[in-house]
Amino acid sequence: MVILNKLLAQIFIPKFFSTMSLESSKRVAAYKAVDEWVKPNTAIGIGSGSTVIYAVERLKQRVVNENIKVFCVPTSFQARQLIISNGLILSDLEAHPELDCAIDGADEADANLTLIKGGGGCLLQEKVVASCAQSLIIVADYTKDSTKLGQQYRKGIPIEVVPMAYVPVKRKIEGLFGGSVNLRMSVAKAGPCVTDNGNFLLDWQFPTDADSDWAAVNRDILMIPGVVESGLFVNMVRKAYFGLADGNVTERC
Ligand SMILES: O=C[C@H](O)[C@H](O)[C@H](O)COP(=O)(O)O
């Protein structure tokens, strides 16, 4: 029994602390970004994912403590719910087509701050909102900070497609660039994952030896009929904050 307890402790205690440090590294990055970029009486984009939850947490604190007004434009169903449940002002691109900044997460960033986004299924609205922002600010933990894409994030580049086109798009991407393309399946429902926009998602496992010109790859992918948007964000980021396990933050621009 004692041996079993020791064994369980050896397995679960390190896992518990690494999960905690990952969460706290997301929080420090998000808090710093919100403190440095959100100005009173502006409209901002609210990204999606688990790190943005901490950005909204900080935003709410600032709105209450400083009694400021910030109009929040969501990038997903999740972001919309976060804004509403935190009592923030919900807006949209009709009312605010020009945003001061957008604060969002990322699945991976390379040395040039080219991003892979869409691991959580949200990329189309994120890219539209980011394109309306003067500054796209990325908040992430240290596991997203890479030199090359694919170094740490192994699930591939998400690509949102019109449902009827998923097979031809898959074949064209594999033919043009190599690697393999998979239709993302739902976890809690039978069948494919359906985006907030009613589309399907493909995940492209690109060849790892490719020294890629991601701007060109992104342009070529977007030219394929049936592709709605890609999870490659090229030359869009103003600044990225990567939280570290020790509570510090690496900043890159
Ligand atoms: O589809 C999801 C979005 O692109 C997220 O911003 C991205 O997946 C990062 O999410 P997280 O902060 O949970 O790692």
- Domain of residue 185 covers 157-228
In tens, the pLDDT along 37-90 reads 999 999 999 999 999 999 999 999 999 999 999 999 999 999 999 999 999 999
Q: What is the CATH number of the domain that holds 58?
A: 3.40.50.1360
Q: Which residues are catalytic?
A: 126
CA 84 to CA 122: how far, in whole Å?
Answer: 18
* 18 found inside a domain: no
Is residue 180 within a helix (H) or strand (E), and if so which, with residue range? Answer: strand 180-183
* 5 found inside a domain: no
Which atom, in ligand 1's list, is nearest to the CA of 120? 1
Is the domain of 80 the same as that of 140?
yes
Is 154 buried (19+), middle (13-18) or exposed (0-12) by CB count in 10 A? exposed
Ligand 1 mean position to 106 CA, how many Å? 5
Is the domain of 126 the same as that of 166?
no
Is the domain of 37 the same as that of 128?
yes
Cβ–ligand 1 contact at 118 (below 6 Å): yes
Cβ–ligand 1 contact at 105 (below 6 Å): yes
Which atom, in ligand 1's list, is nearest to the CA of 118? 1
* 215 found inside a domain: yes
233 has which bridge partners? 115
In tens, the pLDDT along 182-239 reads 999 999 999 999 999 999 999 999 997 766 799 999 999 999 999 999 999 999 999 9
Is the domain of 192 the same as that of 82?
no
In tens, the pLDDT along 2-27 reads 555 555 455 544 454 455 599 999 99
Question: Which tokens belong to 84?
Answer: 């509403």
Task: List the residue whose alpha carbon is closest to atom 3 of ligand 1.
Answer: 118
Is the domain of 137 the same as that of 37?
yes
Is the domain of 116 the same as that of 240?
yes
Is the domain of 119 the same as that of 242?
yes
Counting DSSP H helices and E strands in the chain, the numbers are 6, 14
Cβ–ligand 1 contact at 196 (below 6 Å): no
pTM of the predicted protein model: 0.92
Question: Which tokens belong to 201?
Answer: 């998602």
